[in-house]
A and B are shown apart, each in its own frame.
Chain A
Amino acid sequence: GQQLNQSPQSMFIQEGEDVSMNCTSSSIFNTWLWYKQDPGEGPVLLIALYKAGELTSNGRLTAQFGITRKDSFLNISASIPSDVGIYFCAGLGLMKTSYDKVIFGPGTSLSVIP
C-alpha cells in the first residue's frame, strides 16, 4: 500500500534558525498537504499543494510539491517557540482516481530552544 516517509524524525533547533523537513512517497499523489499537530489536539492544515513543482508560502512557511509527485518539502524560516509540534505530510488522490483518502506520514517532531 501507499507509504510516506518523513525526515528527519525529530529536530532540536535554536529559536531564530530556519527549519527544513521533507516527505517522500512510494506512490504518486495529486495533492500534498502539510499539517501541524499540538499536544492533545487534532492536526491543523498549514499548506496545500496541488500541482507538481508548485511552491507555496504561508507566512514563514514555504512548501513545494516535487516534480516527480513523490515528494514534498516544508521550510520554516526564523523559527519561534510556538513552532514546536509535530509536522505531518499527507498525500491525497492517487493518479487516475478520484480517491479522497488522505494518507499521513509518521511526522517530524520539532523542538525550539529559546
Chain B
Amino acid sequence: GAGVSQTPSNKVTEKGKYVELRCDPISGHTALYWYRQSLGQGPEFLIYFQGTGAADDSGLPNDRFFAVRPEGSVSTLKIQRTERGDSAVYLCASSFPGSGANVLTFGAGSRLTVL
C-alpha cells in the first residue's frame, strides 16, 4: 500500500484479555518496527524485524508481549493477559535498509485502552 496501515485504530479491552494488533507495512520494506507510545512521551522501542526474523526484541517489556511476521510482510503484535499499564498507542513503522536514510515511515498507530 501507499503507507503503513495499522488495525484496529482503537481497541478497548478488559484487564486479562488477549489482544492482537496488526501492521501492514509499505510494500517492499524489509524492516518493520513496533513502538509503544504513552501519553506525553516519545515512542519506546519494542521489537525490530528484518524480514521474517526478529533482529532485536530487547524492548518487549515481558513475556506477555510477542510479535510475529511469518511472511516478511504483515506483522502482528500480541499481548496476553493485558494489564491497565499496557494502555498506550502502539506504533508500527517500516523502512528499507540500505537506502542510505533508514527512514522509518510510521503508521497512525493503534490506541489500546485496558479497563
6 closest Cβ pairs, A-B complex? A42-B106, A104-B42, A104-B43, A106-B42, A107-B42, A88-B42
Q: Does B26 contact A (CB under 8 A)?
A: no
A-binding residues in B (CB < 8 A): 4, 31, 33, 35, 40-45, 48, 50, 55-56, 58-59, 91, 93, 95, 97, 100-109
B-binding residues in A (CB < 8 A): 4, 31, 33, 40-45, 48, 50, 88, 92-93, 99-107
Q: 17 A-B pairs, CB-CB below 8 angstroms?
A: A40-B109, A41-B109, A43-B91, A45-B103, A45-B104, A45-B105, A50-B100, A92-B102, A99-B56, A100-B56, A100-B95, A102-B102, A103-B45, A104-B35, A104-B43, A104-B44, A104-B45
Contact, CB under 8 Å: B102 / A43: no
Contact, CB under 8 Å: B56 / A101: yes
Give the residues in chain B near A4, CB-CB below 8 Å. 42
Across the interface, B43 reaches (CB within 8 A) one of A31, A41, A43, A44, namely A43
Contact, CB under 8 Å: B101 / A48: yes
Closest to B93 in A: A42
Give the residues in chain B near A41, CB-CB below 8 Å. 108-109
Give the residues in chain A near B58, CB-CB below 8 Å. 101
Bound complex: CA A99 to CA B56 (Å): 9
Question: Told that A42-B109, A45-B105, A100-B50 touch, could you supply 8 new A-B pairs with CB distance under 8 A?
Answer: A33-B104, A41-B109, A42-B91, A88-B43, A100-B48, A100-B95, A100-B102, A104-B42
